Amino acid sequence: MTATATPPPLLERPPLSVRGHWIDDWRPEDKSFWERTGARIARRNLIFSIFSEHIGFSVWTLWSALVLFLGPAYGIDPAGKFLLTAVPALIGAALRIPYTFAVARFGGRNWTIFSAALLLIPAILASFMIKPGVSYTTLIVLAAIAGVGGGNFASSMTNINAFYPDRLKGWALGINAGGGNLGVAALQLVALFVLAFFGAGHPGIVAGIYIPLIVLSTLGAALYMDNLTQARNEKRGMRDAAREGHTWIMSLLYIGTFGSFIGFGFAFGQVLQVQFAEDFSTPVKAAYLTFLGPLLGSLIRPVGGALADKLGGARVTFWNFVAMAGGASIVLIASQLRSLPLYLVGFIALFVFSGIGNGSTYKMIPRIFALKNPGDEHEARRLSGAVIGIAGAIGAFGGVLVNLAFRQSFLTYKTADAAYIAFIAFYALCVLVTWAVYLRSSNRKLVGV
């Protein structure tokens, strides 16, 4: 009898790329697949996603720095400057919904190329059109166009969410978002450089520095990123996500974390100049400090995601909002005492804890839908990707509310104290909601969020 040869074991298929950068087979929850090929590809896409999103954030927050250059020759009062920073925040928030759709429609790589290249428009216009004598209406339009940078975050996060397994989403989304958020601090440092070496009469240089960086981010996405075919099959995600109560709860919480981060990032320099005018008589003095809060808040964001991976997103988010309420209380007390050192301690704390909360809340989203759809990886990913887009848009709108709160408080009371009281009340609401929905013992509670 002839022995039958044992057939060789089936080798695992690597991801199949078709039509250039399209990947047909992507199974991040399969540990063998992940270790053999998935991790390397996901890491490459993460790196270039971070670079593109970083530049997008810098362009989006461009006007948080440019308003420091708008001296008496421009004839704009503090209320008008707060409006100039609120407008790009509003446009960026509105664009996050269609940008989330775009990943499924066009592919993550393809949309990153387009959205990165689009940043050239606000950068070039701001480079040449901001000078004494320009109308306030023109400045509003230029600020609004810069809002396109705000949409990049939503498409980037939705894209990276699809690349990583559930066990690593907190870390991956935290790294992606934190690297993007660093664009706020980087922009402030660029402005400080320009103010120190060229003076306040050259705002166009700030925007001009970003033109070659935008080109590099576009080329990087084109050469090294990939599209996932499965993302194109996730239809009606927004519609289905909008019916989920958790979508709106997480959006509320994200207003408190990311809305605070981006709102304070836009407003910090102006608040310092108005509230402590005697200490910040020139824009460059304010610029020495404005980058510090966004820098620390961005660097700490991955820590928030990692803590959420280890301790649970809801628990980290709960205590984080308690800390944010404490930070806002310190700022309020410092404002009343006219204590700049205490004020800076409180404001830096707000940036740091908003960064931690950004990471922990975004970890909660994929975890919630993994628990609601056990065993159905595709459905969990489909819904969590859509919710990331919705929550990102609504959270970014919180940045508009922060700037409008400061504007109205200064107009009405000549101080920002009323705004700080409103922030404390909102953080207290977020503490209550997080406890009631995700931590309180209940038959309807999702265990493990």
Residue 35: Cβ within 10 Å count: 10
pLDDT tens for each residue of 191-237: 999 988 998 899 999 999 999 999 999 999 999 999 998 765 455 77
pLDDT tens for each residue of 298-340: 889 888 888 988 899 999 999 999 999 999 999 999 999 999 9
The string of DSSP letters for 298-357 reads HHHHHHHHHHHHHH-HHHHHHHHHHHHHHHHHHHHHHHHHT-HHHHHHHHHHHHHHHHHH
pLDDT tens, per residue, the chain with 449 residues: 444 444 444 444 555 554 568 998 899 989 999 999 899 999 999 999 999 999 999 999 999 999 989 989 999 988 899 899 999 999 999 998 899 888 888 999 999 999 999 999 999 999 999 999 999 999 999 999 999 999 998 899 889 988 999 888 878 887 898 899 899 999 999 999 998 899 889 999 999 999 999 999 999 999 999 999 876 545 577 788 889 999 999 999 999 999 999 999 888 888 888 888 888 877 788 888 888 889 998 889 888 888 988 899 999 999 999 999 999 999 999 999 999 999 999 999 999 999 999 889 988 998 899 898 888 877 887 888 788 888 888 998 998 999 899 999 988 988 899 999 999 999 999 999 999 999 988 877 788 88
CB burial of residue 446 (10 Å; 0-12, 13-18, 19+) = middle
Using an 8 Å Cβ cutoff, are 49 and 159 in contact? yes
Q: What is the C-alpha to C-alpha distance for residues 73 and 237, in angstroms, rounded to an integer?
A: 50
Region of residue 338 (left: phi > 0; alpha: psi -120 to 50; beta: else):
left
pTM for the model: 0.83
**What is the SS3 assignment for 1?**
coil
Using an 8 Å Cβ cutoff, are 47 and 176 in contact? no
Using an 8 Å Cβ cutoff, are 371 and 449 in contact? yes
The torsion angles phi and psi of 319, rounded to 5 degrees, stand at -70, -25
For tokens 């975004």, name the residue. Answer: 362
Write the single-letter amino acid at 376. D
